[in-house]
Amino acid sequence: MHFGERGSKAFGALLRFHRERAGLTMEALGKHVGYSKSQVAMVERGERPPKGRLVELAEERKTHALHVYQNHLVPGSLQTEAYARAVYLSECCPTLEDSEIDQRLAERLARQELFTRKPQPTVSYVLEESTLTRPLGGRDALREQLHHLLAVGRMRNIDIQVMPHDREIHAGLNGPMILLETAKRAHLAYVEGPSGGYFISEQPDLGDLFGRYGILRAQALTPEESATLIEKVAREV
């Protein structure tokens, strides 16, 4: 694939968008694709044409399927503006500047274009019940967020399921995960570790994650049961 100056800048902006969507630092992405932090920065500024794995990662914008498990907060692609701002205001060490928060907020909200893109992707979420009750941004922000979950969950291509507190067996104790299937049906996973997140693209780890997510969906409430619970929590906030 050939990139001119304008194409390189557009690609760089797209790369940054998807890197931040996944919660990756430049160092983490560089480690995955064999680039240094400075090389990733140059690509994002449009000063260096992308090659190899970076081009493949950019193709994830054509995601055929997205599956997300989250245990601490509502996933970024489902967040309202008020809730997302509260998430960024909670970040510390380092604390984000206001301008950085505004930029990240705009990029995060733009991710929801995925839901109505043509062709529509298949999207599913499994959320811990605790994510429905943590009042990030205050109770009004949480109530708005819960109603947003209900609205998104009514879309035909999206399933939102809740993992209830009382499950005695739980397949997701290793933490959050994001699973992707590209338009070419290639699979990729992103997981969070103690020192940041990282991609997994090799077997058997990749297959294990997809299998674990399938078990999570079976253990969680159905989408219909989940919507009933979300409605109940929203009334009680």
Same domain, 118 and 204: yes
Do 135 and 218 lie in a common domain?
yes
Helix axes 81-90 and 98-110, enclosed angle (nearest 10)? 140
210 and 191 housed in the same domain: yes
Same domain, 56 and 113: no
- Residue 55 belongs to domain spanning: 1-60
- Per-residue pLDDT tens, the chain, 237 aa: give them: 444 455 566 567 667 766 776 667 888 788 777 788 888 888 888 788 766 566 555 555 567 899 999 999 999 999 999 999 999 999 888 898 999 899 888 888 887 888 888 889 999 999 999 999 999 999 999 999 999 999 999 999 999 999 999 999 999 999 999 998 887 788 888 887 656 667 787 899 999 999 999 999 999 999 999 999 999 999 999
- In this structure, which amino acid lies at residue 59? E
